[in-house]
Structure 1
Amino acid sequence: MQPIAKTFDELTADELYAILKARQDVFVVEQKCAYPDIDGKDRAAMHLWYGTQQHPVAAYCRVFPKQDEPGTMVIGRVLTVERGTGLGAVMLHEAVALAVRLDPQATQVWIEAQRYAAGFYGREGFWVTSEPFMDDGIEHVEMRLDLSDWERRD
């Protein structure tokens, strides 16, 4: 199974539909959060996903530069539909590699993680950099990954 990475303009209508449906299914319906998923950041992002026979978007995230922090990339909207398969960890690792390819000068990757998932991100080398805070009724924390540490691990 190979990852697919495309800019917004490269996405077909069917791919965009499948991505938005997966995000809606997980973040809005499953997690019962009414929030503006379409936030204006998709056009500037690289969209990364893995598809399977059962799900055209089985794992997904988007990667883009952090606007207020040069040298920092953002990984966001991380989701897996097929849980317990290891696909989420594979996708996260590929997302960090994609961030490095998109900005070879980047020194960090930043995420806002749901607090219960901090251990998942920690296994890739992220560390918590904020106190817990509520976002759309779910407790989150900011996390960062030092890319020099990550590169040595890869």
Structure 2
Amino acid sequence: MNFKVVPFKALTPQQLYTIYHLRVTVFVVEQTCAYQEVDDLDLTAEHLLGVDTDGRLMAYARLMQEPNQQARIGRVLVNPADRGHGYGQLLVQTAIEQIQQLWPETTQIKIQAQHYLDQFYQSFGFKPVSSVYLEDDIPHQDMILTL
């Protein structure tokens, strides 16, 4: 899998369609959550695309710079057809590395993690900073990685 970071303005119509199609497939259909999946954060985010040699989207995450030397990782997903091969680990590690390259002054990375993935994110050094709460009827927990 090859990764590239693309700002919203540089996404091609085909890339944007593929991103939105896969995000809706995973976050709305698969997780049965009716919510506004496409939002204004897309406009200012950096979009991390993990693609195969044919350019097919295998993994995706949204990277956002925040105030106070913080950044956020969101919309983390692996294409259902590509799960079970360790691509999630590769995606999160690459997201952390890309944030450090894009915004070297970053001291913390935040994520709103689905609670069942708590141990997965802790393996990268993320620490829980909130109680478990429901977001779209799915248990989540806020976590922070201090760099």
**Shorter-chain TM band:** over 0.9
> For the residues of structure 1 that align with 2:28 and 2:106, how far apart are their CA atoms?
32
Taking the TM superposition and a 5 Å limit, the aligned residue runs for 1:75-154 are 75-81=73-79, 82-147=82-147
RMSD of aligned residue pairs (Cα, Å): 1.4
- Distance apart, 1:55 and its partner CA: 8.0
Q: Which amino acid aligns with 1:33?
A: C
Q: 2:69 aligns with which of 68, 71, 90?
A: 71
Runs of 4+ deviating beyond 3 Å = none
Structure 2's unaligned 5+ residue stretches are: none
Could you say what secondary structure the match of 2:57 adopts? Answer: coil
> For the residues of structure 1 that align with 2:24 and 2:54, how far apart are their CA atoms?
17
> For the residues of structure 1 that align with 2:113 and 2:54, how far apart are their CA atoms?
26
> For the residues of structure 1 that align with 2:26 and 2:124, how far apart are their CA atoms?
22
TM-score, normalised on structure 1?
Answer: 0.90
TM-score, normalised on structure 2?
Answer: 0.94
More strand by share: 2
Taking structure 1 as reference, are residues 120 and 55 closer, same or farther at Cα in structure 2, changes over 3 Å only?
A: farther
> For the residues of structure 1 that align with 2:92 and 2:131, how far apart are their CA atoms?
23
Contact 2:69 2:105 in 1 (8 A): yes
Matched residues, number: 145
> For the residues of structure 1 that align with 2:10 and 2:55, how far apart are their CA atoms?
20
Q: Which moved more, 1:116-125 or 1:19-28?
A: 116-125
